[in-house]
Amino acid sequence: MLRLGNRAAAVAFRSENKTLGNIDLQSIPSRFNFALLLAQNETERLIAEQCNRQGVSIERSTELIAFSQPEAASHIEAEKYVKAVLRRPDGRMEELEAAYLISAEGSHSLVRNTLNLEFKGKALEQAYALADLHIDGEIPEDALSIFATEQGFLGLFPMGKRRFRIIADRSRAPRSRRWRSRFSRNAKAL
């Protein structure tokens, strides 16, 4: 990741052609004193390759439909503590038994819901637009750029070779003067 990713050494806050403030990431006392930006497809490729090296193959388009945990009892073999039902890409159902079930299926987790576990987090009501684009111009490739506008904020995250991830606030209503002056004050304080 370090070899492939693009390194940003600073975060620059701007508004109306003015720089409001800068965070110098290089002042962080660490050898990782930068933001590392790597496209998601590259990150996924690296993770899949590492899994393969460790003997784990990823079975895509396979869904966990249900699972149960037989009562823990001494007569149950350790490899069979969890029974799971999977739906294969061709629609076929498969049952399997396993020692562990590791839940990593995001915020709508079937495992969490089945176990009645609380999701300790909250939904961010804000809506964002996101795109990865090639952009010409004077936007630096060694810094993250955050722009405050009347419509909200726009973030430009450089991934190298003039490719940027853009994240824009999609609020419809123009931001209040108070919001902009608070943003400006906070950026200057940095």
Ligand X SMILES: Cc1cc2nc3c(=O)[nH]c(=O)nc-3n(C[C@H](O)[C@H](O)[C@H](O)COP(=O)(O)OP(=O)(O)OC[C@H]3O[C@@H](n4cnc5c(N)ncnc54)[C@H](O)[C@@H]3O)c2cc1C
106 binds ligand X (CB under 6 A): yes
Read off the tokens for 174.
């123009």
150 binds ligand X (CB under 6 A): no
- Point out which span in 18-26, 76-84, 99-107, 180-188 binds ligand X (CB under 6 A): 99-107
Select the residue interacting with ligand X from 130, 133, 135, 190 (CB under 6 A): 130
Name the minimum Å distance from CB 176 to ligand X: 26
Round the CA-based radius of gyration of the chain to a whole number and report it.
23
How many residues touch ligand X under the rule CB under 6 A: the total is 7
Q: Using the minimum distance from each CB to ligand X, give the nearer residue, 106 or 137.
A: 106
Name the minimum Å distance from CB 105 to ligand X: 3
Name the minimum Å distance from CB 4 to ligand X: 15
110 binds ligand X (CB under 6 A): yes
Check the CA dihedral 72-77-79-80 and report its sign: negative
Which residues, 61 to 90, sit near ligand X by CB under 6 A?
63-64
What does the alpha-carbon distance between residue 102 and residue 41 come to, in Å, rounded to a whole number? 23
Task: Write the CA distances from 45 to 3, 9, 49, 51, 166, integer angstroms.
Answer: 14, 25, 6, 10, 22
| Partners of 167 in the β-ladder | 130, 155
